[in-house]
Amino acid sequence: MGRHRQRIQRPYPTDQTSDHPARFPIPARNLISLGRVGAGVAVVTGASSGIGAATVRRLAAEGFEVVAAARRMDRLQALAAETECTPVPVDVTDQASVDALRELLSSCRVLVNNAGGAFGLAPIAEADDDDWRRMYDVNVLGTMRMTRALLPLLIDSGDGVIVNVTSTAAHAAYEGGGGYNAAKYGERALTEALRLELCGQPVRVIDVAPGMVKTEEFSVVRFDGDQERADAVYAGVPGVLVADDIADCIAWTVTRPAHVNIDLMVVRPRAQAAQHKVHRER
Ligand SMILES: NC(=O)c1ccc[n+]([C@@H]2O[C@H](COP(=O)([O-])OP(=O)(O)OC[C@H]3O[C@@H](n4cnc5c(N)ncnc54)[C@H](OP(=O)(O)O)[C@@H]3O)[C@@H](O)[C@H]2O)c1
């Protein structure tokens, strides 16, 4: 791990804290010259919590030089202190922010498009335009923006890997899920189109589709801070998945030999046979 420290020029003072990237103007001269040591450079979006943070830890343990990207720098800095990842603020809904992240990189072998989420559980009859727009922006356009920006580096690596963290919500609709279903179906479609477009190029395109995963924030964000409602989602479910389970799957797909493309991995807890069929012990 010590060797990584020397190769990474951190773009920000690590004692600085912020909850918004706008407070971190990125000086162009501070290019992160991550070299092709170990397994290469892996960029993980949505790295400040849940599946993204667990993936940063896991890929760092696998020998990747990990760039951890999200909006909340204070959380990324805590993760950096633990894993030696490089924290970079990014808002995937903002093209300029994505461009600034791209400018910091001189190579990239793995991109994990994990930033995303659900906002609300309203039926379509009461759908909120803004919630739907935000879900499309972060899950679909965010994945597109990051992929478009880093694709040349991924191709140039000679063995690039893109992992899009979609959802089982991209495979089955459910009441109240309309906006999130539409976004995740969209992200899944984007993933499939990308794999077709890159056929013949040295880049694997992988879709990891988790079912119910108990992460600290996903449902709290969905229910706008209502912790009680969020807790009810996982209540009584034995052996609910946690972020490390999905990070384990992502790391496994990424570390297969270069000729092995895991197109789609659907991962649910044993207690969730389908989106609408969840066993609960009360
Ligand atoms: N938990 C589940 O049950 C579940 C199931 C299936 C799929 N998924 C998918 O898995 C992914 C991770 O979910 P999770 O459970 O780990 O949720 P989470 O804990 O809420 O994490 C979401 C992450 O995305 C980041 N993010 C949100 N908006 C962003 C933006 N505009 N730009 C950059 N980063 C942004 C957040 O960080 P900042 O706020 O700091 O930016 C956070 O790190 C999501 O795509 C989610 O849809 C989750």
In the chain, what are the domains?
38-278 (3.40.50.720)
Ligand 1 nearest atom to the CA of residue 218, by list position: 20
Calculate the CA 166 to chain-centre distance.
9
Beta bridge partners of 69: 45, 88
CA of 251 to the centre of ligand 1 (A): 17
Active site residue 180: yes
Instruction: List the structure tokens of 235.
Output: 């209540």
CA of 201 to the centre of ligand 1 (A): 29
Please give the Cα distance from 241 to 214 (Å, whole number). 6
Residue 28 clears pLDDT 90, i.e. is over it: no
Instruction: List the structure tokens of 250.
Output: 């992502």
Catalytic residue among 12, 180, 185, 234: 180
DSSP designation for 136 = I
pLDDT tens digit sequence for 103-119 = 999 999 999 999 999 99
Using 50, 70 and 90 to split pLDDT, how confident is the model at 38? low
pTM above 0.85, yes or no: yes
**Furthest CA-CA distance within the chain:** 57
For the chain, percent helix, then strand, then coil, each to nearest 5?
45, 15, 40
Give phi and psi for 69, each to the nearest 5: -120, 135
